[in-house]
Amino acid sequence: MWTMSPTSTGVMMIEATFLGAWRSRLLAGQHGVALVDANHPLEIYVGADGSGNPLLQMRSKVKPRLPEVSELVLVSRHEVDGAWILSLALQDLRFSEIFLRLTAHLVTASQNEPSETEAWTTVAKVLDAWKRLLRARPPGLLSLEELRGLVGELWILLNRFTTVMTPVDALAGWLGPMGAPQDFWYETSGHHETKSIGPSAPSIKISSAEQLDQPDMELLVLHVPQAVETDRGATNLVRLVDQTVNTLSAAGASAVDLHLRLKRLGVEIEMQYYTDTWFTFTTLETFRIVPAFPAIRASELPAGVERVRYSLDRRAVAPFLISTEHL
């Protein structure tokens, strides 16, 4: 059994305990489940099903409602010896990290509820929130700010991460389009959040309290002014997508997962807007997110505070700058 401290509530604690053990169990090909925490109001088990897919089971004497999560998650509910078991089994291993993070949220959000009934209510709310978060966005044009952000993430993917690992591994760690709080996560280097800003931006926009709530993570601030096609180094979304496809192809890999991410963002790459909108990349600043870094963190928020968005004054984060690269 992987025991969690009953007084610990943050996602960081989850990362340090059962998620790490669960990942090791999956990598070792172990089937079956193990109890996460005997002190939780629900009996929560994690492991793998007979096909090696990540499996979460939640057990109690109270009958839970049967939720709809995703077409990639098989959900079942059954009764055994007077106990109800709700099972969630991932059907596509490419989304293992997202599934594990969903589980971390379920456990932390419900672990301090006073009863099984209230714990199931919290579980239902978390699942509903994740379902809304991961729902495919209707096709349409990205705003200029959204497009700048996507262009910046693709540039970082190509120029930072594919240079130190295989293109397939680099793409697999690009989790932002799949609904993760941070843009990138790799087992070897942890969490990385990317922010693309214009040349005169006085602040850095943070879209949630979870975004900078990871220990010793990187914040990459890419300066991405708008440009015209003839400017030196100018590029657009179409060119960056083509470069990514070519990088994957050169490694003998498919671009299916790349196009899946674009679809989740609601991007129709054929639209003229993406061909006509150009950017350049001038500076890349890297900040280290340490406890003293000025941020609103989900693990420190009082209960009931939700949907936090805020901005960081660039002058206030300057002491945490660890490198500046002129591109």
Structure confidence by residue, pLDDT tens digits, 238-273 = 999 999 999 999 999 999 999 999 998 989 999 999
Q: What's the order of all strands across the beta sheet hosting 83-90?
A: 32-35, 43-48, 54-60, 83-90, 73-80
pLDDT at 162: 96
Cα end-to-end span (Å), the chain: 50
Q: What is the mean pLDDT of the chain?
A: 87
Q: What's the order of all strands across the beta sheet hosting 190-197?
A: 184-186, 190-197, 217-223, 283-289, 321-326
Amino acid (1-letter code) at residue 62: V
pLDDT bucket at 46, cuts 50 / 70 / 90: confident
The residue with greater pLDDT, 119 or 3, is 119
d(CA 159, CA 154): 8
Indicate the domain borders of the chain.
11-134, 144-326
pLDDT digits (tens, 9 = 90+) for 115-131: 999 989 888 888 887 87
- Structural contact between residues 55 and 65, judged by C-beta atoms closer than 8 angstroms: no
b/e 205-244 (16+ beta carbons within 10 angstroms → b): ebebbbbbbbeebbbbbbbbbebeeeeeebbbbbebbebb
CA–chain centroid gap for 23, Å, is 16
pLDDT at 92: 84
The DSSP call for residue 307 is: S
